[in-house]
């Protein structure tokens, strides 16, 4: 799997590149700003671009805007955005059009090497990867009429893992239950949240996120 890494901190950029290479990924380019990122992605057509959300010159949302541009120009390239801060509105903005090949993680997740590499692979294969802390914040919000309150504790766990982009099989492995048990929980969740059931993984993530971002 071919990867471009965009991060203005040279030490962090090199560290991420080494982690990826040690795990068998091919790092085909590195960038220190959004313009370099777009140039490298257009030149090398990687499977995934790992992008810092805050990049020069303003250190605000250059990475996010570049990531959205990549998704528009080269939808076959997955984008995994990294952020030092918990900014759920940025995550939802990135996922607003499609959950396919899109991820948003806190930079702290890089230190959990297996989780980080799993997210890169999932995004590169066309899946989704949303940081558990962002999902927890969205699921935990209080609203005037909140169907989430009707969910059992186990259903809340399943909902959170679904929103992160995990398949039923991955949820089952995480919770140490059968896949059939997860399917029953998913059916119950969709019924309680009044969401259309779908076997399509990307539509399922989008449906959950659409619910979570409503007030």
Instruction: Break the chain into its structural domains and give their ranges.
Output: 2-130, 135-212
Reported as a single tens digit per residue, the pLDDT across 153-177 is 999 889 888 888 888 999 999 999 9
Q: What are phi and psi of 56, to 5 degrees?
A: -60, 155
Q: What are phi and psi of 197, to 5 degrees?
A: -70, 145
Average pLDDT, the chain: 86
Architecture per CATH, 135-212: Orthogonal Bundle (1.10)
What does CATH list as the number for 2-130?
3.40.50.2300
Distance CA 188, CA 177 (A): 16
Reported as a single tens digit per residue, the pLDDT across 105-141 is 998 888 899 989 999 999 999 888 888 887 777 766 6
Alpha-carbon distances of 35 from 11, 41, 127, rounded to whole Å: 20, 10, 26
Instruction: Output DSSP code: residue 24.
Output: T
Q: Which residue has the higher pLDDT, 93 or 117?
A: 117
Q: Which residue has the higher pLDDT, 125 or 203?
A: 125
Distance CA 130, CA 133 (A): 9
């Amino acid at each position: 799997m071919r990867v471009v890494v965009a991060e203005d901190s040279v030490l962090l950029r090199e560290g991420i590149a080494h982690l990826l290479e040690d795990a068998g990924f091919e790092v085909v380019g590195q960038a220190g700003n959004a313009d370099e990122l777009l140039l490298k992605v257009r030149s090398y057509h990687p499977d995934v671009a790992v992008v810092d959300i805050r990049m020069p010159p303003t250190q605000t949302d250059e990475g996010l805007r570049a990531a959205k541009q990549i998704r528009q120009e080269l939808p076959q390239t997955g984008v995994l955005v990294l952020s030092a801060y918990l900014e759920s509105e940025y995550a939802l903005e990135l996922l607003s059009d499609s959950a396919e090949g899109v991820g948003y993680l806190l930079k702290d997740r890089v230190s959990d090497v297996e989780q980080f590499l799993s997210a890169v692979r999932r995004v590169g294969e066309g899946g989704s990867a949303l940081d558990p802390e962002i999902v927890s914040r969205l699921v935990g919000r209080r609203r005037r009429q909140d169907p989430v309150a009707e969910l059992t504790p186990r259903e809340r766990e399943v909902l959170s893992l679904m929103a992160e982009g995990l398949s039923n099989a991955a949820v089952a492995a995480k919770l140490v239950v059968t896949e059939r048990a997860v399917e029953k929980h998913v059916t119950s969740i969709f019924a309680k949240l009044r969401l259309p059931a779908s076997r399509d993984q990307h539509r399922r993530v989008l449906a959950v996120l659409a619910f979570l971002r409503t007030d």
